[in-house]
Amino acid sequence: MHHHQNSLSHYPSPPNGHAQQQHQQPHLMAQGSPAGQIISPHWQQQLLKCDMIRQSRSPHHRARASAMASRTVPKSAIPITNPNSKITITSPKPEAANGRPKTFEDLSTTAASTSSEPATKSPGTPTHPSSTTAPIAEFQRPTATKPPENTWGSLDMGGVNIKNLPASSGLFSFTFLINLYLNHNALTAVPAEISKLRHLELLDLSGNALATLPPELGLLVQLKELYLFDNHLSTLPPELGCLHQLQTLGIEGNPMDSNLKAIIQKDGTSALVCYLRDNALNTPPPPQRQWKNLLSAAEREALTADPNAETFSILSFNILCERYATEKLYGYTPNWALAWAYRRNNITKEVLAHDTDVVCLQEVDIAQYEDYFVKTLGEHGYSGVYWPKSRAKMIQDEETRRAVDGCATFYKTSKFQLVEKQLVEFSSVAMQRTDFKKTDDMFNRVLGKDHIAVVSLLEEIHTGTRFIVANAHIHWDPAFSDVKLVQSALLVDEVEKAANNFAKYPPRPPASATSGSNNDPDAKPERPPPHYSDGTKIPVIICGDYNSVPSSGLYEYMSTGHLAPNHGDFLGHTYGKYTSEGLKHRLNLKSAYSTPGAGGGLNGDNHITNFTPGFKGEIDYMWFSAGNLGVNSVLEQLDQRYLDKCVGFPNAHFPSDHVALACEFRVKPPRDSTKSA
């Protein structure tokens, strides 16, 4: 208590009656500012909250006030609830633009039930097609990160003269906490372990003796209210710029840097957070990702010694197109790191650094494909195949049309020739199926989505080996798991058809037959091209962004070749044979990163392909036909120490919210192929 009185004497603040004065005199003069300066509505709210928190300095003030309120509620108004039911915690109410909320509880939050009504999106609002949460949201999203289940979400440790908070404190195991009050104690430091409380929405550190804050506070991206009133802070760590949902940053009663204070006085919390975010020093980059060998030493040696061994590499990357990379969706990313010119350069570096034979990109808009990627990758020996999403055909305005994204597949012309290319428009293919009845579900759920896949039929120019590479972007919304299943099943059906037709093509004639006889006596005998009895003998790669985790029905279907017709991911909807007989395919697909040692799949060790504050996990895949392909190596996972210091991507080092996948494969010759001489 004495400490708090001292802090008040050092840094003058408004009297306790300030709130009433403010209500009567909206144009008050800011403390410590030139005479006549008008207080902005932002600063009025700052001072109001500061005054209310100063009145809560007694021990466990919030807890006692909450208990008192519950006792004084008329019995007729007390709801009868199931003590075993789940308790949902609401997020704090937004800071009012003008005027004074009725009670302090309007400024902070307590446990309450939330509406189960589904969130709606205003027309025309860009929504990034990812399974992740849009970082800045006015409402609860289906994929928003949720705290561990618990019957309480608030903890009041205020006003009890705590002098030290050790890093080993059991407090940091309460990861379910939503509100934490440590105000009016005698703390001189807050340990970095505070960052373990990732679900905090309100943190009150007011009335302590803090001269510095841990940078790890910037990892608490769910924070909406951060009260630092009446401490000894003269500056703020730039990492607080990641707190993109923060509505109130309370700094009154601190000897704060005049520039920082001026920003929040004039334009409010969000302006100061943006300033910290965009002016933060660039953090050290992560270690360069290396190729992880999955073969034993003997296998690698045998592969190297085999003159007929055939390998190729492929990269898949959702690059986050320019239209979706907005500050509203990625409020934690510095503006300069979100700018397309900056991200495009980093995307190019990422793609070229791994020098793969095939590159599959998702979310490439028409303009960037035509104006940039064709030229840039062409200079490095690549040729491309591209289609935009279906809606591009309906758009008359050229500028708007060129902003539509799609899938682009590039291949090295020194290794492959393109035999054929195919566009798979999921809605069109679904419309043509006679077993798909034209129900409301079909029109509202499947046919309204314009996602596509690009299928490339390639032939190795030296050996004649054939490959099919499918590059897909599957629908993002977790509430449409049935649509994801239908789209992936349609894709596999089309790939199987393409493979069966490709197998019927006659073998490529030997080079000597087209270029004349070779009279060089030292020339090696020419290897005859392989013959394929059916489509299952042709190596197949199906990669892209599937917006589905390894525990999903989509993953089960792709990796096992079948899925029960009544699987829960169909959500009870009817889709012809898919839901009467189940899903089936004969491609013997496996995820490359599920190979032992690669780290992905159901038994993986937290393989991450997508990282935002609301989601961190594996949703991008590289499926391969295990009967005729084997995995030699994969691009290793991200450095965990680096990830522990990040709130999400994109950032200065990663240009997309997705992470590139890359694999090297070896070809297993078909059993019925003609033996080489």
377-394 pLDDT, tens digit per residue, is 999 999 999 999 999 999
What SS3 class is residue 90? coil
Decide which of 193 and 86 is more confident.
Answer: 193
Q: Name the one residue in this structure whose structure tokens are 């894709």.
A: 491
The answer to whether 120 and 141 have CB atoms below 8 angstroms apart is no
**Mean pLDDT, rounded, of the chain:** 84
The per-residue pLDDT for 514 is: 52
The per-residue pLDDT for 127 is: 52
Decide which of 145 and 60 is more confident.
Answer: 60
Alpha helix ranges (H) inside 379-525: 398-401, 426-432, 440-441, 481-504, 511-515
Q: At what angle do helices 258-267 and 41-54 cross, to 10 degrees?
A: 110
The per-residue pLDDT for 604 is: 66
Q: Which of 111-125, 320-334, 489-503, 608-622 has the lowest mean pLDDT?
A: 111-125
CA distance 531 to 355: 29
Burial label for 467, CB within 10 Å (0-12, 13-18, 19+), is buried
Q: Which of 27-36, 61-70, 396-405 has the lowest mean pLDDT?
A: 27-36
The per-residue pLDDT for 112 is: 32
The per-residue pLDDT for 599 is: 81
Q: Return the structure tokens found at 121.
A: 């999106």
pLDDT tens-place string over residues 391-422: 999 999 999 999 999 999 999 999 999 999 99
Q: Return the structure tokens found at 15.
A: 């009297």
CA distance 509 to 63: 83
The band of 295, judged by pLDDT with boundaries at 50, 70 and 90, is very high
| CA torsion angle 494 499 501 506 (round to 10) | 160
**Average of pLDDT values for 443-458?**
94
pLDDT tens-place string over residues 124-176: 445 554 544 333 333 333 345 667 777 789 999 999 999 999 999 999 999 99
The band of 458, judged by pLDDT with boundaries at 50, 70 and 90, is very high
CA distance 486 to 474: 10
The per-residue pLDDT for 671 is: 55
Q: Residues for the chain: how many in total?
A: 677
The per-residue pLDDT for 340 is: 97
What SS3 class is residue 341? helix
Contacts of 22 (CB under 8 A, 6+ apart): 28, 44, 47, 48, 100
The per-residue pLDDT for 282 is: 75
Find the angle CA(477)-CA(480)-CA(484) to the nearest 5 degrees: 90
**Average of pLDDT values for 319-329?**
96
Q: Does the pLDDT value for residue 23 go beyond 70?
A: no
Cα–Cα distances (Å) from 378 to 42, 342, 467, in that order, read: 52, 20, 21
Q: Return the structure tokens found at 363.
A: 């979310």
The per-residue pLDDT for 531 is: 87
Residue 445's closest CA among 491, 486, 485, 483?
483
pLDDT tens-place string over residues 603-643: 666 789 999 999 999 999 999 999 999 999 999 999 999 99
Residue 622's closest CA among 372, 315, 293, 207?
315
CA distance 276 to 273: 5
The per-residue pLDDT for 106 is: 36
The per-residue pLDDT for 71 is: 77
**Average of pLDDT values for 69-73?**
71
Encode 147-168: b = buried (16+ Cβ within 10 Å), e = exposed.
Answer: beeeeebbbbbbbeeeeebeee
The per-residue pLDDT for 440 is: 79
CA distance 671 to 72: 82
pLDDT tens-place string over residues 528-547: 888 899 999 999 999 999 99
**Average of pLDDT values for 339-359?**
97
Q: Does the pLDDT value for residue 301 go beyond 80?
A: yes
Active-site residue set: 545
| CA torsion angle 22 28 29 32 (round to 10) | 10
HSE-up (13 A, CA, CB side) for residue 190: 27
DSSP classification of residue 167: T
What SS3 class is residue 437? coil
Contacts of 102 (CB under 8 A, 6+ apart): none
Contacts of 434 (CB under 8 A, 6+ apart): none
DSSP classification of residue 116: -
Find the angle CA(202)-CA(611)-CA(355) to the nearest 5 degrees: 155
Strand-pairing partners, residue 610, are 617, 658
